[in-house]
């Protein structure tokens, strides 16, 4: 029996109920699609001590998209790039919405809400060790223009462009990437390139390498089942196979909260198994942080997080 025949033969009250349920599911799916294709514009200003030595940089991507970054330079020839996750911005790990909302990149307004989890303590520690820091806004995020790039290929090219800018215009000799969530996926994409996008070492926090399990701990059933068709399209399911095929040799430290409700920790565990090589066992490490939710390892274990991240870059960018 086809759908129309089924609805026609169904008693009136049940037919009405089915139509209401179908409409509700359709609206829910539409809302989920909109959420994952229209990132929130988040802009969080630097604290005064960091803002005094910062410079706003605008450059064009390969498709002429206007991209924004904040350069905290002047400390030598080594730079750490911070690349945020979905709906965030440079220097911010977790927005804890609402923080700042702006309809257009040029202006923002403060709204009530919990304080965001920022990278400021880590940036200060990095500067003390002589690192420069570059905070980038992904396209469609922060103060960058352009359409949202769900699969990350354009965004990965944008990130490689920032590395070229560092080397060619700022004279940087070594570049490390600190990627969060979506930013860590971009790092894995670059890792499969022959030149690694120009990056020398990476620290990747909570990469999503599969649509399976995404947001499973953050969304209640049955709505989670409803949004599954959309959620399953968010991750690059072939990324791990691409990593295996290219035999990544880049030093990568993976970090993941064991209580992550958005990206389950097993995704970093699988990534580690694919990246690890018996020929160079120290090149890849995995740190699972007990009690940490999505991207909150820095908050749960701040001193150890800072030491492990900077220690990793000290080892491979020295």
> Which is more confidently placed, 265 or 108?
265
The string of pLDDT tens digits covering residues 237-271 is: 788 888 888 889 999 999 999 999 999 999 999 99
Helix (H, G, I), strand (E, B) or coil at 212: coil
* pLDDT band (50, 70, 90) for residue 167: very high
Predicted pLDDT of residue 214:
79
Q: Who wins on pLDDT, 213 or 134?
A: 134
Considering the four listed CATH numbers 3.40.50.1820, 1.10.10.10, 3.40.50.2300, 3.40.50.300, the one that applies to the domain covering 38-316 is: 3.40.50.1820
Give the closest residue to 119 by CA, choosing from 155, 94, 102: 94
Identify the weakest region by mean pLDDT among 80-84, 147-151, 176-180, 272-276.
147-151
Q: Which two tokens stand for residue 237?
A: 């399911």
Q: How many residues does the chain have?
A: 318
| pLDDT recorded at residue 41 | 81
At residue 174 the predicted structure's pLDDT band, cuts being 50, 70 and 90, is very high
Residues 156-176, mean pLDDT to the nearest whole number = 98
pLDDT digits (tens, 9 = 90+) for 272-287: 999 999 899 999 999 9
Cα gap 293→272, rounded to integer Å = 19
The pLDDT tens digits for 193-223 are 999 999 999 999 999 988 787 777 777 766 6
Task: Grade residue 230 by pLDDT with cuts at 50, 70 and 90.
Answer: low
pLDDT at 237: 75
pLDDT bin (cut points 50, 70, 90) of residue 98 is very low
Query: What pTM did the predictor assign?
Result: 0.84
Spatial separation of the C-alpha atoms in residues 149 and 141, rounded to whole Å:
11
Q: Cα-flanking dihedrals φ and ψ of residue 239, to 5°?
A: -60, -45
């Amino acid at each position: 029996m086809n759908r129309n025949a089924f609805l026609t033969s169904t008693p009136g009250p049940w037919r009405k109920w089915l139509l209401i349920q179908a409409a509700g599911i359709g609206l829910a799916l539409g809302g989920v699609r909109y959420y994952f294709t229209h990132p929130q514009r988040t802009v969080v200003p630097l604290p005064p001590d960091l803002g005094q030595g910062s410079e706003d940089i605008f450059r064009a991507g390969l498709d002429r998209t206007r991209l924004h970054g904040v350069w905290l330079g002047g400390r030598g020839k080594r730079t750490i790039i911070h690349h945020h996750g979905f709906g965030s911005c440079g220097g911010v790990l977790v927005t804890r919405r609402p923080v700042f909302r702006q309809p257009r990149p040029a202006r923002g307004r403060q709204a009530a809400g919990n304080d965001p989890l920022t990278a400021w303590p880590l940036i200060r520690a990095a500067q003390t060790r002589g690192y420069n820091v570059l905070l980038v806004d992904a396209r469609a995020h922060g103060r960058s223009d352009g359409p949202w790039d769900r699969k990350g290929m354009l965004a990965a090219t944008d990130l490689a462009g920032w590395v070229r800018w560092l080397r060619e215009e700022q004279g940087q000799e070594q570049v490390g990437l600190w990627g969060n969530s979506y930013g860590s996926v971009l790092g894995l994409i670059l890792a499969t390139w022959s030149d690694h996008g120009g990056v020398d070492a990476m620290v990747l926090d909570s990469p999503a390498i599969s649509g399976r399990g995404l947001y499973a701990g953050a969304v209640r059933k049955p709505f989670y089942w409803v949004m599954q068709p959309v959620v399953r399209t968010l991750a690059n399911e072939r990324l791990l196979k691409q990593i295996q095929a290219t035999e990544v040799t880049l030093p990568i430290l993976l970090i993941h909260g064991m209580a992550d409700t958005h990206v389950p920790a097993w995704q970093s565990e699988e990534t580690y198994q694919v990246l690890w090589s018996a020929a160079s066992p120290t090149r890849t490490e995995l740190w699972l942080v007990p009690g940490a939710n999505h991207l909150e390892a820095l908050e749960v274990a701040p001193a150890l997080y800072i030491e492990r991240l900077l220690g990793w870059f000290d080892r491979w960018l020295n």
